[in-house]
Amino acid sequence: MKIEVGESLMRSWLRHVEGCQFAELNWKPSSSWRVCGDTQPLTDVAREHFKKELEVDLFGTQTAYQLLKQAEIDVLGIRLNPPKGEIVKVYSVDMAFHEGGLNYGGVAETVNRVLKKLMRHTMIIQSVFGPVPLQVVFASPKVGQPCVSALEKAMGVLSELFSAHQVACEALLLMNQSFRDVVLDPILAVATDVADTSELFLRSYQLLNIFDNSEELKPRPTRRPEADSSEALRFEFDPSPANVFKAELLKNKMAKMTLHYQNGHTEDRIWNAANFTETANLIGNLRSRPQFRQGEWQRRGISWIEVKIIASDQREKRPNPVEPI
């Protein structure tokens, strides 16, 4: 089986940053599996929605069955709640790595192909898993500005479709700087701690670091936490994903961190982010805190951290300790 380095990177991201216990490359459903539901209604409303909002005929005359027969997901991730084993979220990633920049034959064709891929992903997950919480992701490290603007608009239209028809799905676009902030830097921060020969991207990076001391090949010093184990502490953000949370943090300057311990205990802390800047790395900043560093959070019995924005109109005097940046 051919493995693309970009897809390998996204698999590592799902495993070590998003906390997925299962992550598979080039996933396709089996024809022997039982179908959970009819996806034709979603196909029909999507066809009309995109024709009205973007003036595009996304599916032509194809039926839901025909669309699903063509479906293949670059990287599928599943995050479970360990105590009970129920699905917390399913991740479906389409990864496009073009060294010269993303281009499927012009801006319009690029947008159409991305939307069609993500809609197929949404329908195939619903067909196989049922109405589980889902995040569909399109990721590309290099995208030109005309395509950036058009894709951002298209993803907004896709999110409107999900909201209007109560589809439990988030649409996430990771391009250029957001790709680096959300995917690349967090993975490089834990690269030396992962010993898994199946992870092509991380193994390649580790090999390069043996022979090349160039600063360009290393994560930025302020973005790499101390590490002494193969695990990475998981952070969940509200609102999500991390780039949306960061924008809200820059605006509101305050958040609540809820520490979840392995024994079921929780502890709230207020994060005063008055000095947090736009160039700061969100996850790297959090993981650099003494209590969240590798080895220390395991010693303290911390399981995961929930971080939620506190809007200015929700603030009041709180007994919780305030932790400035």
Residues 38-75 have pLDDT tens digits of 788 888 888 899 888 988 888 888 888 888 877 789 99
Q: What is the DSSP letter of 34?
A: P
Per-residue pLDDT tens digits for 220-247: 443 333 333 446 788 899 988 888 889 8
Q: Report which of 246, 228, 229, 250 is spatially closest to residue 238, judged by C-alpha positions.
A: 246
* pLDDT of 6 over the 80 cut: yes
pLDDT band (50, 70, 90) for residue 309: very high
pLDDT at 137 over 90: yes
Instruction: Provide CB contacts within 8 A for 145, sequence distance 6+.
Output: none
DSSP 123-178: HHHHHHH-S--EEEEEEES---HHHHHHHHHHHHHHHHHHHHTT--EEEEEEEHHH
CA dihedral 163, 20, 225, 286 (to 10 degrees): 30
266-272 and 322-324 strand pairing: parallel
Q: Could you tell me the two tokens for 20? A: 């997925």
pTM above 0.75, yes or no: no
Asked if 93 and 10 count as a contact pair (C-beta separation under 8 A), the reply is yes
Distances (CA, A) of 148 to 9, 103, 116, 279, 298: 21, 11, 17, 20, 40
Could you tell me the end-to-end alpha-carbon distance of the chain, in angstroms, rounded to an integer?
46
Q: Quick one: pLDDT at residue 316?
A: 55
- Per-residue model confidence (pLDDT) at position 131: 85
Mean pLDDT of 19-29: 90
Backbone angles phi, psi at 188, to 5 degrees: -65, -30
Task: Tell me what pLDDT residue 138 has.
Answer: 94
Residue 314's pLDDT is 65
Gap between the Cα atoms of 195 and 16, Å rounded: 12
Structure confidence at residue 1 as a pLDDT band (50, 70, 90): low
**Is the model more confident about 38 or about 138?**
138
In this prediction, residue 293 carries a pLDDT of 82
Note the pLDDT of residue 322. 47
pLDDT band at 78 (very low <50, low <70, confident <90, very high): very high
The sign of the torsion formed by the CA atoms of 137, 127, 22, 84 equals: positive
- pLDDT of res. 41: 87
Cα torsion through 88, 125, 101, 204, rounded to 10:
60
Which of 3-12, 90-99, 290-299 reaches the highest mean pLDDT? 90-99
* Residue 211's pLDDT band (cuts 50, 70, 90): low
- Report CA torsion sign: 290, 294, 296, 302: positive
pLDDT band at 295; cut points 50, 70, 90: confident
Average pLDDT of 76-103? 88
The two three-digit tokens of residue 103, written as one number: 């281009």
Compute φ and ψ for 233, nearest 5 degrees: -65, 135
Q: Return the minimum-mean-pLDDT range out of 65-79, 87-101, 141-155, 198-212.
A: 198-212
User: Does a cis peptide bond (omega within 30 degrees of 0) precede residue 241?
Assistant: yes
100-110 exposure pattern, b = at least 16 Cβ within 10 A, e = fewer:
eebeeeebeeb
pLDDT at site 195: 66
CA distance 307 to 239: 9
Mean pLDDT of the chain: 82
Tens digits of per-residue pLDDT, 156-191? 999 999 998 888 899 999 999 998 888 888 888 777
Local structure of residue 196 (DSSP, 8 states): -
- DSSP run (H or E) holding 114: helix 107-129
